[in-house]
Amino acid sequence: MSRKIILTGDRPTGPLHLGHYVGSLKARVELQDQHQQFVMIADAQALTDHADKPDMIRQNIFQVALDYLAVGIDPKKTTIFIQSLIPALFELTTYYLNLVTWNRLKHNPTVKQEIQQKGYGDNVPAGFMVYPISQAADITAFKANLVPVGDDQVPMIEQTTEVVRKFNRMYNCSVLVEPEAILSNMARLPGIDGKAKMSKSLGNSIFLSDTTDVVAKKVKSMYTDPGHIRIEDPGKVEGNPVFTYLDAFGKDKAKIEELKAHYQKGGLGDSVVKKYLLEVLQSFLEPIRDRRKEFEQDKGEVMRLLREGTEVARAAADATLTDVRAAMGINYF
């Protein structure tokens, strides 16, 4: 393999949802046959805004691992690891913090947006402010050059690139590798309430682990076109989550286009479209739920896979740290 890839992973603050699948999980399954892949359960990053809930994070590490395995991320092909168990990541973060200014961190668009969303005001945890640099450590520790991300995370990759260039220039070396962002060809999946982002905290998600009945209830409640009051009224497809989900998960593209044309013309009720979407989602989720239940029966085996992956990741990160310390001239012994 000529290229490596690390996905900065998911924060274990809850089970993963359809938005995660569209945004990154699908790519991970596809790319694991093409590249050496590292997938991180970002528990340390989750603590930057959930420091008071370590038990919740600990429990969700297992839940996220189940979702990874259930969608088809294969630990024989992909190194799945727990972030906090890789000491080199924290040492690299410390060194990289000396390469950026506080002002630059404050103006990172992703950080600014998340601070506003969380309503921190002036009470932003320092750990949260510097997590772009922690993320730079996560990426560079494995000398990754491909990082699949959503468009909202592109500023993080840009900041990692700045760190890489400054480090290599400052220490006259080529130790660190510049990452390249890979964007999903699918737009962000909206929440079932019509809001732009599907999010656990907003309560507008369909989770990969949701039961058949729960999925049915959520689909039935989905936001559609508020102007489509009567069946005979023409409806809007753009911005209608039901059709966005059909585009993302439906296999019969011809039928979906027919439904869109009928809906836009008038004469097609929301309930009919939702019924078809429910069939599509249940067909997609059923094998995932089945595999998840199988892995859930043996927690010890799942944790063993995580432990083995973490050991592989630790060795790779330690090798990079050795190179970094040598370039900086701080390998004292």
Strand order in the sheet with 146-149: 78-82, 36-41, 4-10, 146-149, 180-183
* pLDDT tens-digit map of 132-143: 999 999 999 999
**Predicted pLDDT of residue 314:** 98
What is the per-residue pLDDT across 213-272, written as a single tens digit (0 to 9) for each? 999 999 999 999 999 999 999 999 999 999 999 999 999 999 999 999 999 999 999 999
The per-residue pLDDT of the chain, averaged, comes to 93
What would the mean pLDDT of 20-41 be, rounded to a whole number? 91
**Angle at which helices 43-50 and 54-71 pack, to 10 degrees?**
140
**124 exposure class (CB count in 10 Å sphere: 0-12, 13-18, 19+):** middle
In the predicted model, is pLDDT for residue 1 greater than 50?
Answer: no
| One CATH from 3.40.50.620, 3.30.9.10, 3.40.50.261, 3.40.50.300 for 4-189+299-328 | 3.40.50.620
**Nearest to residue 198, comparing CAs of 255, 248, 136?**
248
Share of the chain above pLDDT 90, in %: 77
Listed by start position, the domains of the chain span 4-189+299-328, 212-293
Q: Do domains 4-189+299-328 and 212-293 have the same CATH topology?
A: no
Taking only the tens place, the pLDDT of each residue in 256-285 is 999 999 999 999 999 999 999 999 999 999
- Name which CATH class applies to 212-293: mainly alpha
DSSP 39: E
Instruction: Convert the pLDDT of each residue in 278-327 to its tens digit.
Output: 999 999 999 999 999 999 999 999 999 999 999 999 999 999 999 999 99
pLDDT interval class at 150 (50, 70, 90): confident
**25 near 70, Cβ under 8 Å?**
no
